[in-house]
């Protein structure tokens, strides 16, 4: 006797009760017909359990030929899947859903500020790694680089000067400078000579005579209301100032050299002797090292200036597709502001797999991908990566599936169904 179950379109939650009732009626009917053997106990078919994110597998307990023979009943369990999902369940595939996403997503930001002079990207454009995306005004950065370059050249010239041997003419000039500094220092220590006093007094007398002559000329026109604008008034003022200067010079000589004058003269002597020693002995090792350190410092400054100048030009870091552009030619780019978003042309799907199935996962495991945008089309894929840890909230592990065939039509954001095939 063969009993056909109701239409599989009935609610899954009603099927266990319905199947159990049919089996019970069949058992009673067989018993009433007088069969000698006791009726075999037939377990109700177990329908698949559906849970969010879980795989859909056929877990019903099959009815063997022995059960059929003992009970005399053949039961046909209707399929709960259609098409590719039914085939996947029969082959033991795990079915998951996810969203197609790019393997890489890069947000490119400007590192230096300035007006956007050039923009070579628009949404949907394909870029290669190294392509120029954007240029900002770099006139200030170019001036800073030129200044750093000049500083480096000056430091290098100083090193070269230290390494050049002094000529005999330079040494003789340095010796003459030492002699002149020594003489000035001695005069400061000894004070003014009688000749210096006589000369200063003579200059003082001349200044006094000039004031008297200017005063006489002034007196002759002093009645004029415009006396302040006449040349006699200006001449008297100039003569008076010259007399005051001559008087101060004479008083200074009479008073003698002060301590600061003597110290200044001694400093001149020391500097002249040091210069002569450097020319005669050549540069010291410490001087050369200090000059070379200045060169290295100038090289670093030039490198930093060049680095900032290079940042005024943005280039694509990867091959990708422009997903979003946030700037335009003529706009002001601020340091750290996002310029555009770049997506890699290759895509992937990340799905959560239950903890109890981790042992059966392996890299390279075959997969099939279906998307709603292309009904009935199959895209081959493979398991490419398994996350190193579980999500403690869902007790699932993130698994990455990548297409292995032509996936140019798979666009990030598409809804996809993934079947992980079991060997």
For the stretch 386-392, contacts whose Cβ atoms lie closer than 8 Å and that sit 24 or more positions apart, written own/partner, are 386/358, 386/361, 390/355, 391/352
Domain with CATH 2.40.50.100 in the chain: 106-137+312-342
Give pLDDT, residue 71: 37
CA distance 16 to 77: 11
DSSP 287-333: HHHHHHHHHHHHHHHHHHHHHHHHTTEEE-SSSEEEEEE---TTPEE
Q: What is the pLDDT of residues 53-94, one digit of tens each?
A: 443 333 333 333 334 333 333 333 333 334 444 444 445 689
- Ranges of the chain whose pLDDT falls below 70: 1-92, 257, 423
Fold of 99-103+346-420: Elongation Factor Tu (Ef-tu); domain 3 (2.40.30)
Q: Whose CA is closest to 328, among 337, 318, 339, 319? A: 339
Domain 106-137+312-342 indexed as CATH 3.30.1490.190:
no
Q: Is 145 exposed, middle or buried (0-12, 13-18, 19+ CB in 10 A)?
A: buried
244: how many CB neighbours lie within 10 A of its CB?
Answer: 12
Domain with CATH 2.40.30.170 in the chain: 99-103+346-420
CA atoms lying within 13 Å on the CB side of residue 286: 1
Say whether pTM exceeds 0.85.
no
Q: Cβ(54)–Cβ(354) under 8 Å?
A: yes
């Amino acid at each position: 006797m063969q009993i056909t179950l109701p239409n599989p379109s009935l609610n899954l939650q009603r099927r266990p009760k319905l199947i159990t009732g049919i089996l019970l009626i069949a058992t009673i009917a067989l018993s009433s017909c007088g069969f000698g053997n006791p009726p075999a106990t037939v377990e109700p078919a177990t329908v698949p359990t559906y849970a969010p994110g879980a795989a859909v597998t056929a877990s019903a307990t099959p009815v063997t030929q022995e059960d059929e023979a003992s009970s005399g009943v053949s039961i046909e369990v209707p399929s709960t899947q259609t098409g590719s999902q039914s085939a996947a369940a029969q082959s033991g595939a795990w079915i998951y859903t996810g969203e197609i996403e790019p393997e890489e997503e890069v947000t490119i930001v400007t590192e230096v500020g300035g007006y956007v002079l050039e923009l070579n990207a628009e949404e949907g454009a394909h870029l290669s790694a190294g392509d120029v995306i954007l240029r900002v005004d770099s006139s200030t950065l170019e001036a800073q680089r030129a200044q750093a370059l000049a500083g480096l050249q000056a430091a290098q010239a100083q090193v070269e000067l230290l390494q050049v041997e002094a000529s005999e003419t330079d040494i003789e000039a340095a010796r003459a400078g030492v002699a002149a500094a020594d003489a000035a220092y001695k005069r400061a220590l000894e004070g003014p000579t009688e000749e210096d006093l006589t000369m200063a007094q003579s200059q003082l007398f001349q200044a006094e005579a000039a004031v008297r002559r200017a005063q006489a000329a002034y007196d002759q026109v002093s009645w004029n209301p415009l006396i302040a604008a006449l040349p006699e008034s200006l001449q008297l003022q100039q003569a008076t100032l010259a007399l005051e200067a001559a008087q101060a010079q004479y008083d200074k000589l009479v008073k003698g050299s002060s301590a600061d004058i003597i110290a200044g003269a001694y400093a001149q002597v020391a500097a002249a002797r040091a210069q002569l020693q450097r020319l005669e002995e050549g540069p010291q090792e410490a001087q050369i090292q200090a000059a070379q350190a200045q060169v290295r410092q100038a090289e670093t400054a030039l490198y930093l200036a060049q680095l900032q100048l290079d940042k005024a030009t943005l280039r694509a870091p990867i091959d990708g597709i422009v997903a979003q552009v946030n700037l335009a030619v003529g706009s002001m780019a601020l340091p750290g502001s996002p310029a555009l978003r770049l997506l890699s042309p290759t895509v992937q799907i990340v799905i959560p797999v239950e903890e109890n199935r981790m042992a059966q996962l392996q890299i390279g495991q075959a997969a099939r991908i279906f998307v709603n945008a292309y009904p009935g089309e199959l895209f081959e894929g493979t398991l490419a990566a398994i996350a190193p840890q579980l999500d403690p909230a869902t007790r699932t592990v993130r698994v990455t599936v990548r297409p292995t065939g032509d996936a140019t039509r798979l666009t990030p954001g598409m809804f996809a169904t993934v079947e992980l095939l079991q060997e």
